[in-house]
Amino acid sequence: MINRYENVVIETVSRLLVPALQLFGLYVIAHGHGSPGGGFQGGCILAASFILMVIAYDIRVAKSHMSENLNTILCCLGVFIYGGIGLLCVILGGNFLDYSVLHKILPVDPVKARYMGILGVEIGVGMAVMAVMISIFLNIASRGEHEGHENSVSVSAGVSDRRNNE
């Protein structure tokens, strides 16, 4: 998981599986209105695709696709989108999280504006859940090591030794 174990079968299968998983996660988030799903489940599926990448390759390959700075920014941005939509409703003259007043800035009627508000909120929740799950998994799997830390190489070598001894 930390050091890369070359395995053609696992790497090929995960290379095929990761885009399909991410597409399914986006479908679950965007189509949470009509079918089971929503932000929480879709965010978990997106995080699962990233975790599959970490397990099949190693952490450095995975971090080249999603750096930890970007991850933390997404984590904060998700909660900010949720709160921002709520505050936007207050600014437009309604209650907190009362999406029907969003029809003043969206080209739809008040009923459809609530639909759009639910969609925006789900996107925020999905972003936050994905980023938090990835962050927790990276911190557990790498024991809190990150770029710019001087003991990073030696500690991960110790982990691989312990795994070989078992």
Partner 1 sequence: MKIIAFFATFITGFLLIYATVDMPDWGDPNSPPNAHVSPRYIEKVILETATPNIVTAVLADYRGYDTFGESVVIFTAGIICLMLLRRTSDD
Partner 2 sequence: MIWQLDILILLIVVICAIASITVKDILSSALLLGAYSFLMCLLWTGMGAVDVAFTEAAVGAGISTAFFIGAVFHMTRRTKD
CB of 2 to partner 2, least distance (A): 8
Q: What angle do CA 43, 112, 81 make, to 5 degrees?
A: 35
Give yes or no for residue 17 binding partner 2 (CB under 8 A). Answer: no
State how far Cα 67 lies from the chain centre. Answer: 12
When asked if residue 25 is in the footprint of partner 1 (CB under 8 A), the reply is no
Closest CA to 100 of 110, 85, 90: 110
SS (H, E, C) 21-36: HHHHHHHHHHCCCCCC
- Tell me: does residue 67 bind partner 1 (CB under 8 A): no
The conformational region for residue 116 under phi > 0 = left, psi -120 to 50 = alpha, else beta, is alpha
Q: By the criterion CB under 8 A, which residues form the site for partner 2?
A: 1, 28, 36-38, 40-41, 44-45, 47-48, 51, 55, 133, 136-137, 140-141, 143, 159, 163, 166
Q: By the criterion CB under 8 A, which residues form the site for partner 1?
A: 32-39, 72, 75-76, 78-79, 82-83, 86, 96-97, 99, 111-112, 114-115, 117-118, 121-122, 124-125, 128-129, 131-132, 135-136, 139-140, 143-146, 149-151
